[in-house]
Amino acid sequence: MNGGFGVAATSLWGRVARVRRRRWRIAQLLVALPCVPLLAYDANSHRPVATDADKFWHDASLPFLVLAVTLPLWRAPEEGLPDALRLRELHRRICRRAAVVLLLAASVTVSFDHWYTWHGNPAAANAAGTVGLDLLALAPVVWLVLEPLLWTLWPAPVRRGVRVAQTAEALYRPRRRRSKSRSVIVPEPVPGGITDFDADQGASGRPRPHLHEPARARSADRRTAPARGRQRHQEAYLHWDGAALTVCDGRGRVRTVPLADTAHPGGVAELVWLSPRNQLLFLDRDGYRLGRTLGGLKTEPGTVSRVSVAAGLAFNAYQLSTWNETRAEQSALLFPRRPLLSRLRRRAASSA
């Protein structure tokens, strides 16, 4: 008896747990149920053109549809997230909830447009339609534009803490992606997770470099990577001539790298070598990526570090994942470009 009762209780609690996991899906279906009779209001009529009354009842289903689709936004952030990520997610959801409220108000106002038309009040119908269109245009502005703008008002340490938490979370557990080729099986867990992570380095934290050279005073000695004797025609190279740092991308295009100094604080202050693709990144003093990534350097990181030291730049070499998609994600997270709003603010401050 006890055994049978225990099995039944376990089965019951298992079903309850499944219902709890899907409770928001069930709530969405329940919220969307009133749309069925509202949309089917004139299903039995054979009128060729819908009347204003029909349009009113059809439009009355819009608030229920909007609420059903956006209902998950009213959930609390996921449990178990770090505090920084919960704060970022809560900020994002609050702004999106405000946009949803505007969408709900717009959908209700549109239905009132046909209500007033139905009852012979064209002036009120016109006003309701205008207000509805204004609210509808304002909702995506709050969702897409106002939310990132408001986030920039938070203190810089808070925003950096969120970036570090996002980077650490993604590096510890790289995302599993489906390959376009069915013959390639993506392993689980995805290889290339980085656990040796230092949150105090760079723009959003970094792993420990396997080769590090601090910035020193600029030298008048000339340095080239790879060495001149090993270069072939139009091969990619990095050259310091004692006064300027130049790079060639391997296609015959040579450019001068603007270095950070007192007159140009936004210039390059650090070189980063990424293995196994042998890519060279140019970073500013805050650890943000500048310019184009230089690839195709047929040399070793030690040779590049000597050029970097001669130019007075810091140098770090990192070993990323051998899994292509994981490596691309790691590179974007560890060495991001400065956000657009931050760049615009810096330009405005420098011009002023």
For 186-198, the pLDDT digits (tens) are: 555 555 566 678 8
Rounded Cα distance, 90 and 67, in Å: 19
Based on the fold, state whether residues 266 and 134 are members of the same structural domain: no
Based on the fold, state whether residues 214 and 284 are members of the same structural domain: yes
Note whether residue 310 is domain-resident.
yes
Please confirm whether the linkage preceding 191 is cis (ω < 30° from 0).
no
Q: How many domains does the chain have?
A: 2
pLDDT of residue 333: 86
Does this model's pTM top 0.85? My answer is no
Give CA angle at 170 (186, 166), nearest 5°: 160
pLDDT at 324 over 80: no
Domain that holds residue 31: 19-151
pLDDT at 300 over 50: yes
pLDDT of residue 173: 65
Note whether residue 156 is domain-resident.
no
Strands (E), 230-337: 237-240, 245-248, 254-257, 270-275, 279-283, 289-294, 314-319
Sheet holding 254-257: strands in order across? 223-225, 237-240, 245-248, 254-257
pLDDT of residue 298: 85
Based on the fold, state whether residues 221 and 346 are members of the same structural domain: yes
Based on the fold, state whether residues 137 and 251 are members of the same structural domain: no
DSSP state of 312: T
Based on the fold, state whether residues 51 and 129 are members of the same structural domain: yes
Based on the fold, state whether residues 41 and 122 are members of the same structural domain: yes
pLDDT at 20 over 50: yes
Based on the fold, state whether residues 213 and 327 are members of the same structural domain: yes
Rounded Cα distance, 107 and 119, in Å: 19
Look at the chain and count its residues.
352
Note whether residue 328 is domain-resident.
yes
pLDDT of residue 158: 92
Based on the fold, state whether residues 344 and 215 are members of the same structural domain: yes
Note whether residue 58 is domain-resident.
yes
Note whether residue 96 is domain-resident.
yes
Based on the fold, state whether residues 104 and 233 are members of the same structural domain: no
Based on the fold, state whether residues 223 and 316 are members of the same structural domain: yes
pLDDT mean over 3-24: 62
pLDDT of residue 217: 92
pLDDT in tens, 144-186: 999 988 998 899 889 989 988 888 877 776 565 555 555 455 5
Note whether residue 160 is domain-resident.
no
Q: Which of 48-52, 65-69, 175-179 has the highest mean pLDDT?
A: 65-69
Note whether residue 220 is domain-resident.
yes
Average pLDDT for the chain:
82
Based on the fold, state whether residues 145 and 212 are members of the same structural domain: no
pLDDT mean over 207-232: 83
Q: Which of 151, 180, 197 is the last residue of a domain?
A: 151
Note whether residue 7 is domain-resident.
no
Based on the fold, state whether residues 141 and 211 are members of the same structural domain: no
Q: Which of 129, 151, 173 is the last residue of a domain?
A: 151
Helix, strand or coil, per DSSP, at residue 102: helix
Q: How confident is the model at residue 97 (pLDDT cuts 50, 70, 90)?
A: very high
Rounded Cα distance, 142 and 146, in Å: 5
pLDDT at 238 over 70: yes
pLDDT of residue 25: 84
Q: Which of 151, 186, 215 is the last residue of a domain?
A: 151
- 75 neighbors 120 (Cβ within 8 angstroms): no
DSSP secondary structure, 339-352, as one string:
PHHHHHHHHHHHH-
